[in-house]
Amino acid sequence: MVPTSAATTKENNGQDQDSNTSTAIDEPKTELGGAPVMRSLSTHPLLSPRARGLKIRIMRFTPSWFSVTMGTGIVNTLLFDLPWDETHAAFRAIGAAFLVLDIILWVVFLVLTVSRYIMYPRFFTAMVTHETHSLFLGTIPMGLVTIASGIARTGSEYGVAHSLNIGIVLWWIANVMSIATAFGVMFTKQKHATETLTAAWLLPVVPTITQGAVGSSLCRLLLEDNRLEYAFTIWIISYIMTGIGTLLAMGLLVLYLQRLVLHRLPPREVIISTFLPLGPCGQAGFALIELGRDAIDMLPRIASMYPDREGLQQLALLGAPLLGVGLLTALVLWGLGVWWAFNAFTSVGTDLFKRRIAFNMGFWGLTFPLGSMTLATFSLARLFDSNFFSVLSAIMTFAVTCLAVTFLLFLPSLQRGNVPASTLIDPNT
């Protein structure tokens, strides 16, 4: 038999534990933007093993979800850029399906994002000033600009009226958002350290490069529609945006390389981010080649429209030099991207050999960077008329499509909230 004193002590301890648990769960300490903050963070709804109810799911939603739209949108672009025309009819239908899915996801994510910051306004300040969460604001315009490109190109392919104009309007909206992230996110008050630096630092500036890449495609469609002056405007803006993003990205890559040299590999949860440097290399290479090709076609035609304007007559001679410079720069960036790809595969492979990597939102960091390198490979294949680059780009397209489909199948598992949310709880409460 258990002694009476021991039994009493055990009973009292149990009552104390129940009392503490009740206090942690039932007595909120304060309110954060309308969300209860408990005395014990382990009982906070943001940190529970599984999100329960729409309100908690909205509370947990972060901008990193827009990386899904980037990954699905790039597949649409790749399937429309396959090097062999006879394969286009079959794969363009699949690309159109990815575009529809991309639009649905982006709209749903936008509604959830707006709802989150309306319901919990203080979360917005916490997110913007956080050194990691704020970086993913760049995924919002990148997801939108893939939709703009998809609507313009898919609509033109299937003869949808006003699709090009809709794509251009979305491109301008994404332009404003990209400038906001490139100029705004980098100057918020945050605490950074070299040992915690990841390639996610690229996310606020890469949207400007993507704007330039998509702008080159829109410029081509406008030239086919004989809208030369509008094409000229978008062409200039695209070069400016590409320059902003590319030069900033190269500077950040230097810092990231220093971090890899001086410190160990990134943590397991963000090891997939080692693929992100492929994004600016591929997007910038694609943009510079395609803008050069646009210049060869566009500048002489514009000069012929205004024979009395001396400046335009001089610009007419710049098409070939611009394409040449773009090609050389793209080759250099493509080679740099290959090096970063080798580094990423080695890093992830080393980590997989040591320990298992669980699927999380970071895995979507594979699809868009690899897709960007594929776009640059497409451009090299067209310019060189090379079977090597054509076959390689087709293989890469197949790989990116398979990755996107696989990640979409695992998407429901992310409802458990793999993105850390404890950082959104006010530490002063």
Angstrom CA distances, 401 to 104, 207, 278, 396, 397, stand at 18, 21, 17, 9, 6
Residue 64 lies in a domain: yes
pLDDT band (50, 70, 90) for residue 54: confident
Whether 91 has a pLDDT exceeding 90, the answer reads no
CB atoms within 10 A of CB 313: 16
Output the domain CATH number for residue 57.
1.50.10.150
pLDDT band (50, 70, 90) for residue 52: low
Model's pTM, two decimal places? 0.82
Of 149, 208, 221, the C-alpha closest to 177 is: 208
Tokens representing 71 are 């990954």
Helix ranges (H only) for 263-366 are 278-305, 310-315, 319-354
Average pLDDT over residues 216-241: 95
**pLDDT value at position 157?**
83
What is the sign, positive or negative, of the torsion defined by CA atoms of 79, 348, 109, 201? negative
The DSSP code sequence of 221-247 is HHHHTT-HHHHHHHHHHHHHHHHHHHH
Whether 421 has a pLDDT exceeding 70, the answer reads no
pLDDT band (50, 70, 90) for residue 190: low
Identify whether the C-beta of residue 215 lies closer than 8 Å to the C-beta of residue 283: no
DSSP state, 188?
S
CB atoms within 10 A of CB 268: 17
φ and ψ of 12, to 5 deg: -65, -40
Identify whether the C-beta of residue 279 lies closer than 8 Å to the C-beta of residue 202: yes
* Mean pLDDT for the chain overall: 81
Whether 379 has a pLDDT exceeding 50, the answer reads yes
CB atoms within 10 A of CB 14: 10
pLDDT band (50, 70, 90) for residue 59: confident
Average pLDDT over residues 238-244: 96
- Per-residue pLDDT of 105-122, as tens digits, reads 999 999 999 999 999 888
Cα 392 to Cα 388: distance, rounded to the nearest angstrom: 6
Whether 359 has a pLDDT exceeding 80, the answer reads no
Identify whether the C-beta of residue 298 lies closer than 8 Å to the C-beta of residue 268: no
Identify whether the C-beta of residue 37 lies closer than 8 Å to the C-beta of residue 124: no
DSSP state, 31?
E
**pLDDT value at position 198?**
84
**pLDDT value at position 244?**
95
Tell me how many domains the chain contains. Answer: 1
Tokens representing 418 are 């793999």
Whether 241 has a pLDDT exceeding 90, the answer reads yes
Any idea which of 2-11, 154-163, 168-177, 180-189 has the lowest mean pLDDT? 2-11
Average pLDDT over residues 367-394: 93
Average pLDDT over residues 148-171: 92
Residue 21 lies in a domain: no
CB atoms within 10 A of CB 293: 21
**pLDDT value at position 276?**
92
Whether 186 has a pLDDT exceeding 80, the answer reads no
Tokens representing 386 are 């090379």
Average pLDDT over residues 180-195: 76
- Per-residue pLDDT of 323-337, as tens digits, reads 999 999 999 999 999
Average pLDDT over residues 306-335: 91
The CA-to-CA distance between both ends of the chain, in Å, stands at: 47
Identify whether the C-beta of residue 207 lies closer than 8 Å to the C-beta of residue 143: no
pLDDT band (50, 70, 90) for residue 21: very low
**pLDDT value at position 170?**
97
Domain of residue 211, residue span: 53-419
DSSP state, 34?
T
pLDDT band (50, 70, 90) for residue 124: confident
The DSSP code sequence of 123-170 is HHHHHHTSTTGGGGGGHHHHHHHHHHHHHHHHHHHHT-TTHHHHHHHH
